[in-house]
Structure 1
């Protein structure tokens, strides 16, 4: 089976890049097609590998965000005719690659394009731009929705990263999908012996993550909060944070592991399609305080591995933290729950799916001839 991997862009490390690492571990000889590649910003597993980039590579130092209008063209420019199987990792345009009738395309969908569908209104409202640019954005996103819907028809089989995403795939693409949850590196994390009093956030500091909500809540609570991560919102968040809140910026894995293993609880105030960090915290036996919507409903068990707050407001989060302070949690039980999402289980499920579907694909007639 001659297989190729496709991913949106490789310019930073996040949950989807961990998925790609597992794909490469499964299919070591598979080339990886992507629009932009910046190995200096990636983990060692994604350095010195066979990466084939698009015409956008020459713009990599400017960042991928501003080149969204060219992403459909970039993916359609890849010649993938030599491969039996394409496994794409997509949250935007990667599923739009063009394949021939004898090539099976499986898309691991992290989400339908967030900023094109129901989250469009949130993105548009928070985008700081002139009125003329917002008018252009409306027309452009109308085009992107049409392209995105047509691109979904190029996929033979969808894998959704959560039940939450499976619902959205059906809503926007009218495609069935199988759920295989993203991988957690359980072997990287351990239950810590030391229990500190601080709460922890690990996140990119961008608006939709709603870190501002946590800052305001912990300003009111006066409890220690450590925030690891960086992004466009950092200076704004630091400006409103009181002395009980500490910003550490980006940190290496060893430091992150240490903070995970010692924190009193992990705070997750945004709505995510899945959300890998709550599971990493649970791998360390640490409970989670999360906004009760989205993928986290599939990874956190109320009262056993964490608590939910029902409204995305400061008051609701404050109430949840106060409720959390009066609860006790079993570290071993939390860890055991996280292990059900381990990366070895993930890789086995992906491999089984690819093998089963390839046999089905080879033996099924995918076209009709009218005589």
Structure 2
């Protein structure tokens, strides 16, 4: 098979890029397409230091700094990729990658991290957090998102088979596109963690500082609790979070994988207040033997077992998180480290490789034989 992999943008090595990394390991001869590629030389190891075919957005003014603001142009840009030389196209989609144009003799499989969250069910939350609920700028944004939804729905018909990173996202795909999706959980490098490491007296959260991650909720809760908390990460909300944090909270900023691993192996518990599509860090925490205290909605409900490997609090509020931490502090739940590690290993890289390769090869064989794809 001649394989092309299409990803929206390459600017970091985060969750969706870790999936792309493993897809490229499965198909090392594949060519990689991305709307923009701003990876530094030190970051290029996960794509095998291969060259990337980019779109015209790469060359637009200030695109390295503000490429996300070119969202209205992204549907047009992704349609300009010439993929005619490939038998199989694998799109890694959380915005527009699934909108590439293919021919009838080509198989297009889309691995969906999420349908465009800010255009669908999270539109109102996005507008509220961005201060765009009213005014001319807010009206223009709503119009853009309206047309983006129309294009997103139409472009779903270009996909032969959908894969989802969780049951939660499979439901979102059905809601947005009325298409079934096969769930293949993302790969998590559980082998890098030592789960029997001695524990220190601090809680940990690792996150980008963006509104939907709700780092502010964690800070407010621990300001009330007065318990030691370490936060690793950075982002647009850095200054606001820093101003909120009490003396019991340490903000370390962005750190290396080695530092993250060390803290996960030593922390008393891992805090995860976001509603995520899947959530790799809660699985990593369990691999490190750290119980997870998480908001009980989204992909985390498929990776954390309440009362066995963590605590799922019912409401995305400060009070709900505070009560969950207090119940953990008094030992209300017996969270065995062996159970934590066993649960994490269900999401290993090897499991992803086996399931993904089997799915692609069986689907391609059926496609060539004219069998139904879903």
Place the TM-score, normalised by the shorter chain, in its bin: over 0.9
Q: Report the alpha carbon displacement of residue 47 of structure 1 after superposing the two structures with TM.
A: 5.5
For 1:42, the equivalent position in structure 2 comes to: 43
1:1-371 correspondence runs (5 A) = 1-40=1-40, 42=43, 44-46=45-47, 48-59=49-60, 60-129=63-132, 131-327=135-331, 328-364=334-370
Q: Distance in 1 between matches of 2:44 and 2:166?
A: 25
**Helix, strand or coil at the partner of 1:166:** helix
Deviations 1:166-223 (A, max 9, x none): 0111111000110001111012222142210110000000000011110000000000
Deviations 1:20-75 (A, max 9, x none): 00001000010110001112173522262131111111244223211101110111
Q: Bigger shift: 10-19 or 61-70?
A: 61-70
* Distance verdict in 2 for CA 1:337–1:85, change over 3 Å: same
Q: Distance in 1 between matches of 2:20 and 2:178?
A: 26
Q: Is the contact between residue 11 and residue 63 of structure 1 (CA under 8 Å) also seen in structure 2? A: no
Q: Distance in 2 between matches of 1:333 and 1:310?
A: 22
Q: Distance in 2 between matches of 1:64 and 1:114?
A: 18
**Helix, strand or coil at the partner of 2:335:** coil
Q: Report the alpha carbon displacement of residue 333 of structure 1 after superposing the two structures with TM.
A: 1.6
Q: Distance in 2 between matches of 1:365 and 1:300?
A: 37
CA RMSD of aligned residues (A): 1.3
**Helix, strand or coil at the partner of 1:39:** coil
Q: Distance in 2 between matches of 1:356 and 1:47?
A: 26
Q: Report the alpha carbon displacement of residue 274 of structure 1 after superposing the two structures with TM.
A: 0.8
Deviations 1:256-280 (A, max 9, x none): 1000000000000010111110001
Q: Distance in 1 between matches of 2:292 and 2:54?
A: 38
Q: Distance in 1 between matches of 2:44 and 2:239?
A: 26
Q: Report the alpha carbon displacement of residue 128 of structure 1 after superposing the two structures with TM.
A: 3.0
Q: Distance in 2 between matches of 1:177 and 1:147?
A: 20
Deviations 1:126-181 (A, max 9, x none): 11357111000111111000000011110000001000000111111000110001
Q: Distance in 1 between matches of 2:119 and 2:43?
A: 27
Which consecutive unaligned segments of at least 5 residues does structure 1 have?
367-371
Query: Paired residues, what number?
Result: 366
